[in-house]
Amino acid sequence: MIVSSYRAQHSGAGASGKTNMEEGAMARLTKRDVVRKLATAKAAAGQDFAVVFSVACVGAAADPRWLLQAAIVEAAGGSAVSYDMADDSGKVKVFPTIDKVIQFVSQVNESNNGDYSGLEVSTGIVFASKVPANIYTDAERKIVVLNKLAPVQDDKREALASLLSGPMLEWATGNAAQQARYAEVNAQRIALEGDVSAIEAEVVRLQAIVDSENGGGGGA
């Protein structure tokens, strides 16, 4: 079985304002042409055949888009040749979601068991956290939010605990369906316990930042 590898990377804008994938004169393949190209390459390259699909994230975090390239070894002992994926008009194909990218690749280079390995995503600064104007006031704001969230999560946890120790208690040793439901509710309770603990730990961390302001100068 030939398994596709996916190398996902951020494609920043160059001097022209276009992404790295859009710059230059790289050849393009429509969906139908990449299927033909892969079939031809498999026959010509034999055991040397390989294809790597590279995904590039472009745009803004609020509205990311995805571009796709294929690097194909087309001949025995040859080097990979890279192509941009094109839409039916010949323009560089822009995918609205990463799901659409995966669907596309699975259709043009289908594996015999549905497994595709090596999905690595690096989106550069597209989804990077914003740097606050003032780290101390930002920490204070986050503490307020978390202190409001903590009792909400704890109430959820307590409600589940009450179910488990009350009306659902006998389900722990009941029939298969009851035991499965009991186990699910208990797993939810444990997850919420961990979430409450994480919130408390984060508040402690943020409070330490706030408390350090006197020696920190107040800027970010």
Interval 140-179: pLDDT, tens: 999 999 999 999 999 999 999 999 999 999 999 999 999 9
Question: Are 26 and 94 in the same domain?
Answer: yes
33 and 95 housed in the same domain: yes
Domain around 168: 135-216
Q: Is the entire prediction scored with pTM above 0.75? A: no
- Is residue 1 predicted with pLDDT exceeding 70? no
Residue 130 lies in a domain: no
Residue 202 forms part of a structural domain: yes
Give me the percent of the chain exceeding a pLDDT of 70: 83
Q: Is the domain of 23 the same as that of 68?
A: yes
For the chain, what is the HEC assignment?
CCCCEEEEEECCECCCCCECCCCCCCCEECHHHHHHHHHHHHHHHHHHCEEEEEEEEEEECCEEEEEEEEEEECCCCCCEEEEEEECCCCCECCECCHHHHHHHHHHHCCCCCCCCEEEECCCCCCCCCCCCCCHHHHHHHHHHHHHHHHHHHHHHHHHHHHHHHCCCHHHHHCCHHHHHHHHHHHHHHHHHHHHHHHHHHHHHHHHHHHHCHHHHCCCC
181 and 207, same domain (yes or no):
yes
What is the overall mean pLDDT for the chain?
Answer: 84
